[in-house]
Chains A and B, each alone.
Chain A
Amino acid sequence: MREIAAILVSAILVDNFVLSRFLGICPFLGVSKKFENAVGMGVAVTFVMVCSSLMTHPIYNLLLAPFGLGYLRTISFIIVIALFVQLVEMALKKKIPSLYKGLGVYLPLMATNCAVLGVTILNIDAGYSLLKSAIHALGGGLGFTLALIIFSCVRSRIEEAVVPPMFKGVPATLIAASIVSVSFMGFAGLFS
């Protein structure tokens, strides 16, 4: 139990997927302009990350590893994730149209999101069990959402601030992200 709590908290705070592992920087910078979009993207990423972890774990341990096909994991994982995203999109559209309207637009971007492929590979590298993989993915997704929400609030201030012309736009955003990342450094060593 203690170990599971440690995996969850360290994935959210210490090894934050965006700010210390640098996974999913593109959606982090692209979708953080508005608070509502940040929440929607965060929920969609968390959901896809947990489900992909639950699917790729048995695929690796039951199909690939026993036959010495471990090297096929990149190609098989990415195809499974792309297929899953497509399936979720179709299922949501039929069954829960209201949720689909909210999330739907973010789902297609998920297939090439490196946080999703990243979490599945990190699970395998760390040798987590199925439960721990799911917890790790949940923590990673929540950490992503947290970073996105904090940054969307910081960013609404940056947009209105007066910055030197050469720093206007992307450079100012990146430096603001760097300062947010410094604040997450305070959590380093929480579990060591």
Chain B
Amino acid sequence: MPKKRITVTQELLKGIIKENPVFVMLLGMCPSLAVTTMAYNGLGLGVATTFVLICSSAAISALSNVIPSTVRLPSYIAVIAGFTTLTELLLKGFVPPLYESLGIFLPLIATNCIIFVRAELFASKNGVTRSVADAVGVGLGFTLALFLMGSIREIFGAGMWMAGTPIAVDFNISAPMTLFILPAGGLFVLGVIIAVVNKITDKKPPQEIGCANCPRAATCPTFNKNLPINEEQLVINIAPQSAD
């Protein structure tokens, strides 16, 4: 357990900036590109994802001794999908406009790689308190990233900020750059933000993306050329052996 020397507070803070899930770890790209056409939507999905992340991290870390390691990933899928459904019902009941505007990306929280990565790499190896602290930090980092992207795209693309809320600001821009709220603008804004984050942190930019960060990357023959593709190996792919 290499993380033991870190205090609970540091566990919470590291997810927000140093290991920001979107800008640094490059996880959860699909929702962060799709729903950030408006700051309010980004905030909403961020909070919903954080809720699922905290609940499933707590549940998985509490159950980690009970779940056999061979059926780990299917069990995680069931736990996460359960909490996603709960969130869907809560939002549908209490915030119907947000439920409508998030659309398909609300049920897709169940396939958000951030939650899987935290469950596999952190919650399954740490206690409940620590896992919840980690989940709160990563969730806040994700929410902040979504809110920032949403704000940039909404201000440039629609000339508004937080439209649809009591604190809405209208900048009265006569010709906003609509490209920013179109799909192409999402990819562009994310690319520029990651470049700026690289510049600020003076870090070597990540070369790998997506699958390389997958919790299964270590056991996946596609990304680990040293692994022989044999029968045993491919059965393990769905439920990898516990990492050392």
Which A residues contact B (CB, under 8 angstroms)? Answer: 19-31, 37, 71-75, 78-79, 82, 85-86, 89, 93, 101, 104-106, 108-109, 111-114, 117-118, 121-122, 125, 166-175, 177-179, 181-182, 185
Task: Please give the distance in Å from B41's CB to the nearest CB on chain A.
Answer: 13
User: Which one of B43-51, B139-147, B150-158, B216-224 is at the A interface?
Assistant: B216-224
What separation, in Å, do the CA atoms of A169 and B186 have in the docked complex?
18
Q: Tell me if B67 counts as interface (CB < 8 A to partner A).
A: no
What separation, in Å, do the CA atoms of A101 and B222 have in the docked complex?
11
| A30 contacts B77, C-beta separation under 8 Å | no
Residues of A within 8 A of B108 (CB): 23, 114, 117-118, 121
Closest to A109 in B: B211
Q: A75-B78, A170-B205, A171-B191 are in contact. Are A30 and B210 (CB under 8 A)?
A: yes
| A108 contacts B85, C-beta separation under 8 Å | no
Mask for B95-119, Cβ within 8 A of A = 1, else 0?
Answer: 0000000011001101111001000
| B85 contacts A71, C-beta separation under 8 Å | yes
Q: Which of A25, A105, A111 contacts B77 (CB 8 A)?
A: A111
Q: Tell me if B185 counts as interface (CB < 8 A to partner A).
A: yes
Q: For the side of the interface on B, what is the size category?
A: 35 or more
User: Can you identify 11 A-B contacts, CB atoms within 8 angstroms?
Assistant: A21-B183, A22-B183, A22-B186, A26-B214, A31-B210, A85-B238, A106-B222, A117-B111, A166-B199, A167-B195, A169-B207
| A175 contacts B78, C-beta separation under 8 Å | no
What separation, in Å, do the CA atoms of A111 and B205 have in the docked complex?
29
| A170 contacts B81, C-beta separation under 8 Å | no
Q: Tell me if B128 counts as interface (CB < 8 A to partner A).
A: no
What separation, in Å, do the CA atoms of A79 and B195 have in the docked complex?
37
Q: Tell me if B212 counts as interface (CB < 8 A to partner A).
A: yes
Residues of A within 8 A of B187 (CB): 174-175, 177-178, 181
Closest to B109 in A: A74
What separation, in Å, do the CA atoms of A27 and B222 have in the docked complex?
12
| B205 contacts A93, C-beta separation under 8 Å | no
| B88 contacts A71, C-beta separation under 8 Å | yes
What separation, in Å, do the CA atoms of A170 and B197 have in the docked complex?
12
5 interchain residue pairs of minimum CB distance: A30-B210, A174-B191, A178-B187, A30-B211, A26-B210
User: Which one of B26-34, B53-61, B164-172 is at the A interface?
Assistant: B26-34
What separation, in Å, do the CA atoms of A112 and B213 have in the docked complex?
13
| A22 contacts B34, C-beta separation under 8 Å | yes
Tell me whether chain B's interface is mostly helix, strand or loop, or mixed: helix
Closest to A175 in B: B191
Residues of B within 8 A of A27 (CB): 210-211
Q: Tell me if B175 counts as interface (CB < 8 A to partner A).
A: no
Residues of A within 8 A of B206 (CB): 169-170
Q: Tell me if B8 counts as interface (CB < 8 A to partner A).
A: no
| A113 contacts B195, C-beta separation under 8 Å | no
Closest to A78 in B: B81
| B110 contacts A117, C-beta separation under 8 Å | yes
| A117 contacts B107, C-beta separation under 8 Å | yes
| A78 contacts B209, C-beta separation under 8 Å | no
| B104 contacts A125, C-beta separation under 8 Å | yes
Mask for B15-35, Cβ within 8 A of A = 1, else 0?
Answer: 000000000001001110110
Task: Please give the distance in Å from A185's CB to the nearest CB on chain B.
Answer: 7
Q: Which of B85, B205, B212, B237 contacts A168 (CB 8 A)?
A: B205
| B85 contacts A26, C-beta separation under 8 Å | no
What separation, in Å, do the CA atoms of A25 and B29 have in the docked complex?
6
Q: Tell me if B192 counts as interface (CB < 8 A to partner A).
A: yes
Q: Which residues of chain B from 221 to 244 have any CB-CB distance to chain A below 8 Å in the complex?
A: 221-222, 229, 231, 234, 237-238
Residues of B within 8 A of A22 (CB): 30-31, 33-34, 183, 186
Task: Please give the distance in Å from B37's CB to the nearest CB on chain A.
Answer: 11
Q: Tell me if B64 counts as interface (CB < 8 A to partner A).
A: no
Q: Tell me if B84 counts as interface (CB < 8 A to partner A).
A: yes
Supply 13 further A-B pairs (C-beta < 8 A) apart from A86-B238, A172-B191.
A20-B183, A22-B31, A71-B85, A79-B78, A82-B77, A105-B220, A111-B238, A112-B113, A117-B107, A118-B104, A122-B104, A171-B205, A185-B184
